[in-house]
Structure 1
Amino acid sequence: MIPAFIITGYLGSGKTTLLLNTAKEHFSGKRVAVIVNELGEVGVDGRILKNAYSEVLELPEGCICCTMHTEFEKALTELKEKYNPELLLVETSGSAEPFPVMISLQNLGCVIEAVICLIDTKNFHLYSQDDTARHQIGSSNVLVLNKTDLVDEDTLKQVEDIVVSLWEKYLLRNLFTNEPVFKSFKLYKTSFGKLPDEVFSGVFALQEKLYHLNDKDHNHNHVQQVVYFDKPLDYEEFLNMVNNLPTNIIRLKGILKLKDLPEALVVNYSFGNLDTSYTLPHYEGRSFLVLIRSFN
């Protein structure tokens, strides 16, 4: 049976950064396969993670939690047969809930070691009312308050209190017995998604047999637009574009080739915050940016 970790969290919470740091610090020398699910036809995270992991499978069209049960299970079966990974990581879309992924993994004989939910402490107040974000928290047994370097102690404590109360309110329950799937959770406070060894050592393994919950509508309140660039951009030109984004753009990510920079730049922007600290030394594809806008 293959051990599996599910990485969930709202748009821009730091899931891909966590996976990059996890590969370096915890999984060196292991055959680790990653399944990445993103809305839209362009898989940014998959292209980035291929520089860090042995095998990366992208499921970029549609959402696992809504329409992709069959595709996900088929892809996972093929991955197990062809690659025989020692460990599986599944990064869900930022607008997806992890429960259907948990069901599929159990159906295919995987042991769910942990469901890890990342929370963007700096911007949590901007999405804390979103139902998907709340169910992501309630469906996880490892809660990670990320980007703590960007907030003060009072803000961090406020976010922690809200997250704990949301976990208790939205806790995933067995449909037939009404018993909680998780008896407890572990909370970590970190930056750049860096976590200790114990998170990946199996101490949080899910033992409960899962059953489908009551069906409910699951609507995505986001739309994606992809912009391609045939020539390298000037950095100031790029910054000017970011500074003049429409107010309904809540997420921007992509890979850019810039003038006078030898390596492609990984772009991450969410809720007004821009991060360009990661580069791809051997990227040969086109420059592109994915803009995710809210239509609430």
Structure 2
Amino acid sequence: MLSAFVITGFLGSGKTTLLMNSVREHLKNRRIAIIVNEFGEVGVDGKILKNAYSQVLELPEGCICCTLHAEFEKALWEIRQKYDPEVLLVETSGAAEPFPVMLSLQSLGCTVEGVMCLIDAYNFEKYSHEPTTRHQIGSSNMLVLNKTDLVDEEKLKSVEQEVVRIWHSYRLKNLFTGEPVFRDFKLYKTSYGKLPVEVFEGIFALKAKLEAPEEDYHQHHLEHQVLYFDQPLEYEKLVSLLESFPKEVFRAKGVVRVKEVPQALVVNYAFGGLDLSQTLPDYQGKSFLVVIKKSDN
């Protein structure tokens, strides 16, 4: 059976960075394939990951277990036929809960080796109340406190305590028996998504048969807007644009060329924080930003 990992976490928690760092380091000698299930019609993470991997297949937004099940099954068949991977990695949308992905993977003959939820330790208090966040945590058996370099020990301890509390309150349970799907979890603390090799050695494999719960596991309502730029921007103008976003904007991510830098910049904006340290040397597409905020509806 094909081994699969599900990587979940709220918008801006660091899922793509984890794929770029830990996975590339620990799985570099194995045949891996990645499916990116993104929010919006522009696949930001897919464009970024294609600069590091070739076996990346993007799916449009939506719940994989229902509206996208046919595409997901087709994607897995295509990946197996073309690449015969040893490991499949599924990065969920930051606006989605992981249970439908887990359910679909099992129904398609994959072994779910682990579900890891990334938590932005620096911004956690800004989104910890979101239902999506709580179900992402409760549906995982690996909890990763990311961006620990940005917080002090006191705040990190506070975030850890709240994450553990949420896990116990929201953990998945079998619909028929009431038993928890995951009896325990493993907690990691890291920066830049760098994790130890044990995470990818299949020691947390989900062996229970999953059943669909009564809850409606779908994305919560968010709005997104795509901004395109025909010409390179001045660096300061790009920064000013991002800093002018209202507080309702959770996330902005994209690839933008600026006049002062020869390589395209990966834009990572989350809850007012900005990172422009990553570049894409071989990027050939348009400059764009996907801006995501909570819907008023």
Structure 2 counterpart of 1:145: 145
TM-aligned CA deviation for residue 63 of structure 1? 3.8
Question: Which has the larger displacement, 22-31 or 101-110?
Answer: 22-31
Q: How many Å separate the matches in 2 of 1:97 and 1:226?
A: 23
Partner AA of 1:153 in structure 2: E
Counterpart CA distance in 2 for 1:101 and 1:7 is: 10
The one-letter code matched in structure 1 to 2:236 is E
Q: Kindly tell me: are residues 66 and 245 of structure 1, through their superposed partners in 2, closer, same or farther at Cα, counting changes over 3 Å?
A: farther
Show the counterpart of 1:29: 29
Structure-2 residue corresponding to 1:278? 278
Query: Which residue is 1:41 aligned to?
Result: 41
Cα RMSD of the aligned pairs, angstroms, is: 1.3
Deviations 1:206-235 (A, max 9, x none): 111111111426452311100100111110
The aligned residue for residue 256 of structure 2 is 256
Cα distance in 2, alignment partners of residues 284 and 37 from structure 1: 22
Distance 1:138 1:106 in 2: 18
Q: Which amino acid is 2:210 matched to?
A: L
Cα 1:217–1:149 change in 2 (3 A) is: closer
Percent sequence identity over aligned pairs: 63
**What's the offset of the Cα at 1:53?**
1.9
2:82 corresponds to: 82
Change (3 A) 1:208 1:217: closer
**Structure 1 residue ranges without an equivalent (≥5):** none
Contact 2:65 2:103 in 1 (8 A): no
Per the TM alignment, residue 66 of structure 1 is displaced from its structure 2 partner at its CA by 5.8
* Bigger shift: residues 74-83 or 126-135: 74-83
* 1:52 CA displacement: 1.5
Aligned-residue offset at 1:85: 0.9
- Distance of 2:63 and 2:172 partners within structure 1: 20
SS at match of 1:89: strand
Q: Which residue of 1 aligns with 2:199?
A: 199
8 A Cα contact 2:100 2:217, kept in partner? no
Q: Distance in 2 between matches of 1:194 and 1:73?
A: 30
1:79–1:217: structure 2 CA closer, same or farther, 3 Å change rule?
closer
3-state SS of 1:277 partner? coil
TM-score (norm 1): 0.97
Distance in 2, matches of 1:144 and 1:30, equals: 23
Q: Which residue of 1 aligns with 2:168?
A: 168
Per the alignment, residue 220 of structure 2 pairs with: 220
Match of 1:287 in 2: 287
* Equivalent-residue separation in structure 2 for 1:54 and 1:286 (angstroms): 20
Q: Tell me which residue corresponds to 2:110.
A: 110
Distance 1:67 1:175 in 2: 22
Shift of 1:160: 0.4
Report how far residue 43 of structure 1 moved: 0.2
Match of 2:54?
54
Q: Which ranges of structure 2 fall in alignment gaps of 5 or more residues?
A: none
Cα offset for 1:81?
Answer: 2.1
Structure 1 runs (4+) greater than 4 angstroms displaced: none
CA–CA distance in structure 1, aligned partners of residues 189 and 217 of structure 2: 32
Q: CA deviation at 1:70?
A: 2.5
User: SS at 1:118's partner residue?
Assistant: strand
Instruction: Report the alpha carbon displacement of residue 65 of structure 1 after superposing the two structures with TM.
Output: 5.7
C-alpha separation in 2, matches of 1:255 and 1:66: 31
